[in-house]
Structure 1
Amino acid sequence: MLYVKIHELRKRKFKVAQIAKELKVSRPTVYKYLDMTFDEAKAYTEQPLGKKRKLDPYKDWILAWLEEYPHLSSAQIHDWLLERYPDLVVGGSTVRTYVKDIREVYQIEKKVMIRQYEAVPEQPMGKQLQVDWGETKQKTTDNKEIKLYFIAFVLAHSRQKYMEWQARPFTTRDAIRCHEHAFQFYGGRTEEIVYDQDHLIAVSENAGQLLLTTEFQHYVNEREFNVHLCRKADPESKGMIENVVKYIKGNFADSRVFSDIEDWNSRALQWLQRTGNHQVHQTTKKRPAEVFLLEKQHLQPVSSLLSYESTHNQSITRNVSKDNTIRYKSNRYSVPLGTYQTMSENLVWIEVKDEDQKTLVIRREAKGEVIAEHLVSSEKGKLIQNRHHTRDRSKGVEELKQRLVSCFEDQGQAAAYLDEISQRYPRYRRDQFAIIYKIIQQYPAFIDTVLTKCMAEKLYHANDFRDIAHHLHTLRDEPIEEGQPFYTSSPKHSHIKASTRSLLAYTSILGGRA
């Protein structure tokens, strides 16, 4: 059919580019079919992809899938092939090219799945509040760049907006604090609050059964509002707040210069009053601030304080990585080895104390025992590590040392000798001890003598210990005096006698008298 369509358009004086655009094929494909006879094209379609290719044995499956589900992507085809043929080894680009060629040859156009939307009925006053998070990059007054994070709120009826910014990623505690500020801003809360499936709020949502994070669940229980979670990858179901996030990014934050977070939040509130809640809304054709005056009366009042005061605590949580570190302001800080557990929630509480120097305090529980403290680094990309948090690599060396000491008669002297070696060669003490241990195995009868010689001559190296033991072994039939220095050599040229002078010669040189 493709051959017939190409030649038919060619007869109608279509150019190659026009044919390719009309039939949604490449221009090389058009040229290829124009150069073929009908029989050649028929033979080619029976072996549709020309020369033998890796996926030809699976062509029937791929073709059947594309004909039944024209919207399938090459990545889905790849996955289905691997599901049916687990031993198949093929790259994504190979599948992509093969699927593209089959679509061209068999004229299977990829259909785009268009989702149909319906207008959402207007929410009654005081019924719903929508919440979402966003982030931007802003230029600073010193011409640098900073990443800022914000949380946005919008009342579904009046479109009255609220936002709050901070210079670090949000935690669940931050979200709770901002909810409290939003309730104060609005003068009450709604019956229902709509969220995306954000990790700060929810753990999972299974067919309507919500599992919220522990801290946020406590908050919901106290404030007694209903939580509505949108489906995953479905931002359109909370389009109001999505538009608010875009509005904040595109109107308030765009090209605005950042100085400090307090000033930024102050200007954000001014913008809400001046623009965000003052300008006429394009859907309602009303000013949000004016409609809000009516909706405010339908909000449910909230108490000024929560029953637990953790909202105002400056402690925040961090996840412990597999390497037993946490991240804080672009640096990694160590926690004791074993803090990370495979089958548990690896969450710790951190708090920054600002005394003479900022100190990062890490706890297992919010008010629990301190497990680590670090001075906060002003640099970035650094590992700040307490040496007590690392693996104790000295245990094996100490065990080896004690084993060596027990081999000598004078264990006190042996311990002192090995301690001296450890101090002189801290990086190589294991190697030093290994050499001595090998010598003890080879020459057990001489080790006490060797130790005495090494201590007397101050030879604190395993190679010296080895050399002396080897020398004693070779001279085991010759007695060695205890006080005799080990490194002695027979004088060479003993037949040569040095000339001597009289005492008068030396005294005259020194200026003395005889």
Structure 2
Amino acid sequence: MKKRLMLYLEIHQMSEKGFSVSHIAKQLKISRTTVYKYLEMSSDEAFEWVNSLSSRKKKLDSYKDWLVAWLQEYPHLSAAQMQDWLLERFPNFLVGESTMRMYVNQLREEYQIEKTRKAREYEAVVEQPMGKQMQVDWGETRQKTNNKKEVKLYCICFVLSHSRYKYVEWKNRPFTTRDTIRAHENAFQYYGGMPEEIVYDQDHLITVSENAGDILLTGEFQAYQKQRKFRIYLCRKADPESKGKIENVVKYVKYNFADSRIFSTIENWNERCLKWLKRTGNYKVHNGTKKRPAEVFLLEKQHLKPVSYLLSNESSNESSLTRNVNKDNTIIYKSNRYSVPLGTYRPKGLNTVAIEIYDDQNNHKQLIIKRNHSGEVLAKHRLEIGKGKLIKNRNHGRDRSKGIQAYKETVIRQFKNTELATTFINKMMDSYPRYKRDQLDILQKATIEYGEFIDEALRKCIDEHLLSANDFSDVSKYLSKIKDELQPLNKSNVHRDKPQNIEVEKRSIRTYTEILGGVMS
């Protein structure tokens, strides 16, 4: 409001001094139309107009609480990143980038939240023909988890030099050469083809050394490069012009996608990153090309060299692959979920399985999941070429062929003390004879959601004669909720049953962020 009134006064003062409209517009960096509009207003009209603007409802007002909470928690956030967070939470959210920037700037001014700026490096843009070049680099971030711990994550980023179309993969451990090769294969499948040349930094995962242009690759990567037949270009040290595009992509991934985002599991993190690429990373207009990477990629894709689905050496080494079984009794392979029998996941046990790929008689790729490399086969699936799908065998849900007894045994296996679990479940089923399966459903769900606390919950339910699955679920949820609250009390040897004079802790702004729904978790 004050800025607009000051602008009104400046325009009229310069006009009274004899400056032309063009000179005023150039001096104040505004359009001539704006100058004419202000000159035609009287002082009363200008004051009334500015007041009407301040009382007018804005499109982003309904999201104001979210934006203020995020700004107060993370002052360095850009308007573009907050726009992506709103898009992730509200898929139908639609507002222009300039509108978003203006609204966020107004909030910063209103709440006196200064933006902490980060240094930005220079990017020299060298245009490449379609399908000629891809650049690759690695990055690291530190992310907060839901329980406020910190984890270190590692990413490998790919970008096609012409279209700026990106692909990213993450791991919760450093990449190996085998991981790097597999990430290349996934990138080629994501792009639907392969470029002629790939640009790298002098990274130890792919090179041993470079002597005056003679590149010495690691044995594993050299075999891969010969089989795929792409050219390699290694950047010299301190040569950002050669790989400026990928360096900016790594920064973009770190500061737009990863910055201040809450981490849960590496599978979930990769899924969310792929959605971010589709929603923002490859959709927003690129500052250099002034085009959307996704639209340019539709043309560049036609110039990429076709690649077979799976390399022969990749097939021969698949038997060494392992995956973790998730709580919902699935494993993730190439961004798809494949089911394993109900009860394979063990809350306190080893949840690693081996996977193999082979061709059936019809030359269709099959995924085999085993307990271990030489153990029993848990599941067989036809390999899915798409991404983000759930491939589930019908017999991996409830064991309907064997009925309630088999289901009961499956649930009992989730507990350490199977004898105590059998006693509890028998009493529960006797108490609810008409709702046996429903009770087992609730019990099974609780063992998945609160696996760390189910054995303690079981003992409490037996001691307190609580014989309902809902009671068990409530006790498990309660134990999970108070874990962090009880820990400092236990350290002080404070008995929970005795009243204590405890000083109430002041809430941090993060508490209010979580009440509003929190950051993207």
Higher RCO (Cα < 8 Å, 6 or more apart): 2
Q: TM-score range by the shorter chain?
A: 0.3 to 0.5
Q: Which protein shows a greater Rg?
A: 1
The normalised TM-score by structure 2 is: 0.38
The normalised TM-score by structure 1 is: 0.39
